[in-house]
Amino acid sequence: MVMDKLEVLQRSRELNVKFVRLQFTDIFGMLKNIAITVEQLECALEKGVTFDGSVIDGQARLKESDMLLKPDPDTFVVFPWRPRTGAVARLICDVYNHDGTPFAGCPRNNLKRVLTEASAMGYTMNVGPEAEFYLFQTDEKGNPTTLTHDKGGYFDLTPLDLGENARREMVLALEDMGFEIESSHHEVSPGQHEIDFKYDNALAIADKIVTFKFVVRTIAQRHGLHASFMPKPIARYNGSGMHIHQSLFKEDNNVFYAEDKPSQLSNIALWYMGGLLMHARAFCIITNPTVNSYKRLIPGESAPIFVGWSDQHRSSILRIPARRETATRVEIRNPDPSSNPYLALNVILAAGLDGIKNKLDPVKSLEKDVYDMSGAELAAINVRRLPKNIYEALEEFKASPLMKQALGEHIFNRFIQLKTEEWEDYHQQISQWEIEKYLNRF
Tell the burial category of 239 from Cβ atoms under 10 Å away from its Cβ (0-12, 13-18, 19+): buried
Of the listed 130, 150, 161, 396, which one is catalytic?
Answer: 130
pTM greater than the 0.85 cutoff: yes
Of the listed 196, 311, 331, 392, which one is catalytic?
Answer: 331
pLDDT band of 11, cuts 50, 70, 90: very high
The pLDDT score that the predictor gives to residue 347 is 98
Contact present, 132 and 138 (Cβ < 8 Å): no
Q: Judge whether 132 counts as a catalytic residue.
A: yes
Integer angstrom CA distances of residue 266 from 60, 224, 262, 277, 325: 43, 49, 8, 17, 11
The pLDDT score that the predictor gives to residue 384 is 85
Half-sphere exposure of 356 (CA within 13 A, CB side): 18
Q: Judge whether 193 counts as a catalytic residue.
A: no
Of the listed 11, 82, 113, 314, which one is catalytic?
Answer: 314
The β-bridge partners of 125 are 248
Alpha helices (H) along 251-332: 267-287
Q: At what angle do helices 107-120 and 401-427 cross, to 10 degrees?
A: 150
Q: What CA–CA distance (Å, rounded) separates 75 from 325? A: 30
The pLDDT score that the predictor gives to residue 311 is 75
Alpha helices (H) along 258-400: 267-287, 341-358, 375-380, 390-398
Is 62's pLDDT higher than 50?
no
**Lowest mean per-residue pLDDT among 62-76, 241-255, 315-329, 361-375:** 361-375
Start-to-end C-alpha separation, the chain: 66
pLDDT band of 302, cuts 50, 70, 90: confident
Is 266's pLDDT higher than 50?
yes
Pairwise pLDDT comparison (379 vs 346), residue with the higher score: 346
The residue ranges of every structural domain in the chain are 5-103, 113-427
Contact present, 92 and 203 (Cβ < 8 Å): no
Q: What CA–CA distance (Å, rounded) separates 65 from 424? A: 27
CATH number of 5-103: 3.10.20.70
Is 58's pLDDT higher than 60?
no
**Strand duo 242-250 + 192-197: pairing:** unpaired
Pairwise pLDDT comparison (186 vs 228), residue with the higher score: 228
Is 244's pLDDT higher than 90?
yes
Q: Judge whether 52 counts as a catalytic residue.
A: yes
**Lowest mean per-residue pLDDT among 11-15, 140-144, 300-304:** 300-304
Q: What is the mean pLDDT of the chain?
A: 90
The kind and range of the H/E element at 288 are none
Q: At what angle do helices 202-222 and 341-358 cross, to 10 degrees?
A: 150
The pLDDT score that the predictor gives to residue 158 is 55
Is 316's pLDDT higher than 50?
yes
Q: What percent of the chain has pLDDT over 70?
A: 92
Give per-residue pLDDT as tens, 105-163: 999 999 999 999 999 999 999 999 999 999 999 988 888 999 887 776 655 555 545 57
CA proximity to 161, closest of 188, 129, 139? 188
The pLDDT score that the predictor gives to residue 25 is 94
CA proximity to 344, closest of 29, 23, 59, 25? 29
Is 56's pLDDT higher than 80?
no
Q: Judge whether 180 counts as a catalytic residue.
A: no
Q: What CA–CA distance (Å, rounded) separates 101 from 343? A: 20
Long-range Cβ pairs for the range 28-36 (8 Å, 24+): 28/57, 28/58, 28/289, 28/340, 28/418, 29/107, 29/210, 29/338, 29/339, 29/340, 29/341, 29/342, 29/343, 30/57, 31/210, 31/213, 31/214, 32/56, 33/90, 34/69
Q: Judge whether 90 counts as a catalytic residue.
A: no
**Strand duo 242-250 + 124-138: pairing:** antiparallel
298 — phi, psi (to 5°)? -130, 155
Of the listed 149, 333, 410, 414, which one is catalytic?
Answer: 333
Is 198's pLDDT higher than 60?
yes
**Lowest mean per-residue pLDDT among 289-298, 324-333, 373-382:** 373-382
**Lowest mean per-residue pLDDT among 286-295, 372-381, 409-418, 432-441:** 372-381
Q: Judge whether 396 counts as a catalytic residue.
A: no
Of the listed 21, 108, 243, 319, which one is catalytic?
Answer: 243
Of the listed 94, 156, 187, 396, which one is catalytic?
Answer: 187
Is 383's pLDDT higher than 90?
no
* Helices and strands (H, E) in the chain, number of each type: 11, 18
Contact present, 189 and 153 (Cβ < 8 Å): yes
Q: Omega into 159 within 30° of 0, i.e. cis?
A: yes
Q: What CA–CA distance (Å, rounded) separates 345 from 204? A: 11
Q: What is the mean pLDDT of residues 176-204?
A: 91
Q: Judge whether 333 counts as a catalytic residue.
A: yes
CATH architecture of 113-427: 2-Layer Sandwich (3.30)
What does DSSP assign to residue 362?
Answer: P
Q: What percent of the chain has pLDDT over 90?
A: 70
The pLDDT score that the predictor gives to residue 380 is 72
